[in-house]
Amino acid sequence: MVNPFQSRTDAKSIYARINLQEITSRPERGSADDFERAHEESCLFHIVGTKDAFLQEINEAYKLGVPVRRVNEETLSRKLKQQGFVSPALAEIKGLESNEDSWLAIAIELRNHGTHRSHIPRKFDVGGEENGRVVFQNPLTGTYMEETISEFLTTCLHNMTALLQKLRATLP
């Protein structure tokens, strides 16, 4: 039986992909204009939203009964523990979130930074071999990323898609 929340999780991935296609299909890529920044932030919003929507799938799969508006990693963990369950999917998500070097932790931090605090910091390479290259600055560490912004977003979306496929297989 298909989890009724799965279509919403899948939709979030589709929305992220649409935003990424908008970014990568423009000739002005790397301009950091409002169009580009809006799509980058939206892409991050939907990538992280994919993970958040998947938490609803965990709640449903284990029949935990946590109200939809209260579903998050901590409420699911408490409810699972109370009912004597262990969710490998939730454990893996929490592990990625707690490792500040993981793609998911960085994506969450960038999403939070852009949504709640300020613009997402970036570096523009001018001149030399890297001319025109634009990368995010990790707000957690202050370091600049190795991947360009579109490469990082592509990696995150690919990783999220692979993670979902793997973790769905662990649900009851």
**What pLDDT is recorded for position 121?**
79
Mean confidence (pLDDT) of the chain: 90
- pLDDT tens digit string along 50-61? 999 999 999 999
Listed in sequence order, the residues at least 6 apart from 24 whose beta carbon sits closer than 8 Å to its beta carbon are: 150, 154
Q: Where are the chain's structural domains?
A: 6-117+149-168
- pLDDT tens digit string along 88-106? 999 999 999 999 999 999 9
Prediction pTM value: 0.90
**Banded pLDDT at 135 (limits 50, 70, 90):** confident
CA distance 71 to 53: 9
The secondary structure of 29-91 as a DSSP string is: TT---HHHHHHHHHHHHHHHHHHHHHHHHHHHHTT----GGG-SHHHHHHHHHHTT---HHHH
